């Protein structure tokens, strides 16, 4: 994503962004691609598996990856870990949003601890996705690299939202999807757990 200064100090140019969608459900990829196109993104690549995605990421440069956390086989969390272990810095530091349905606290912790920048709940609202992309573009968190973790500083609560961004949202819609074994977490609860 290209960040350019303007009179307000910030401009996000998504028309030049290159974004990869990773997930094994074609209909969900279609929905995400339509949302991104609506935001002005013109370069969108789709991959149906973690191995396909990693091959493409090793050979091309992307500005953002949207990764489904519940793919069959090698799940999205493992893909995030694989990306964070790469030696190529532009790949290792790639902004990553994990998307997941039926989120429980453990799922949020798992996404945070594998090195994802954010986790967003399905069904995904365009405004939530757009807000997270803008948040990522403004994010000033340090990137941490140690033996047990590689990724953005997980202590997001200590820093709050980036300058100019509204804090925790209270207007997210609560929608029931499928038969959950426990209550789905709201996006606000996810945000609270992610730091």
CA–CA dist 146, 85 (Å, integer): 11
Q: What is the DSSP string of 74-86?
A: S-HHHHHHHHHT-
CATH code of the domain occupying 2-193: 3.40.50.2300
pLDDT at 8: 54
Q: pLDDT class for 189, splitting at 50, 70, 90? A: confident
Is residue 3 within 8 Å of 10, Cβ to Cβ? yes
What's the predicted TM-score (pTM) here?
Answer: 0.78
Q: Region 155-177: what's the mean pLDDT?
A: 50
Ramachandran class of 109: left when φ > 0, alpha when ψ lies in -120 to 50, beta otherwise:
alpha
Q: Quick one: how far is CA 85 from the chain centroid?
A: 17
The span from the CA of 83 to the CA of 70, in Å, is 17
Paired tokens of 163: 């300058």
Rg of the chain in Å (alpha carbons): 16
**HSE-CB of 137 using CA atoms within 13 angstroms:** 21
List, for residues 61-119, the tens digit of each pLDDT value. Answer: 999 999 999 888 768 999 999 999 999 988 999 999 999 988 888 988 999 999 999 99
Domain map (residue ranges) of the chain: 2-193
């Amino acid at each position: 994503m290209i960040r350019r200064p303007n009179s307000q100090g910030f401009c996000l140019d998504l028309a030049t962004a290159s974004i990869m969608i990773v997930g094994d459900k074609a209909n969900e990829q279609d929905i995400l691609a339509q949302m991104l196109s609506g935001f002005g993104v013109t370069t969108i690549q789709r991959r149906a598996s973690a191995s396909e995605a990693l091959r493409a990421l090793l050979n091309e440069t992307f500005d953002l990856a949207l990764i489904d956390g519940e793919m069959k086989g090698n799940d999205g969390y493992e893909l995030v870990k694989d990306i964070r272990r790469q030696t190529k810095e532009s790949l290792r530091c790639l902004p990553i949003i994990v998307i997941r349905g039926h989120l429980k606290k453990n799922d949020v912790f798992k996404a945070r601890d594998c090195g994802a920048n954010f986790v967003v709940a399905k069904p995904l609202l365009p405004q939530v996705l757009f807000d997270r992309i803008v948040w990522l573009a403004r994010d000033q968190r340090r990137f941490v690299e140690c033996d047990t973790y590689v990724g953005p500083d997980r202590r997001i609560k200590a820093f709050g939202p980036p300058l100019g961004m509204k804090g925790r949202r209270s207007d997210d819609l609560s929608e029931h999807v499928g038969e959950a074994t426990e209550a789905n977490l709201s996006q606000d609860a996810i945000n609270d757990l992610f730091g």
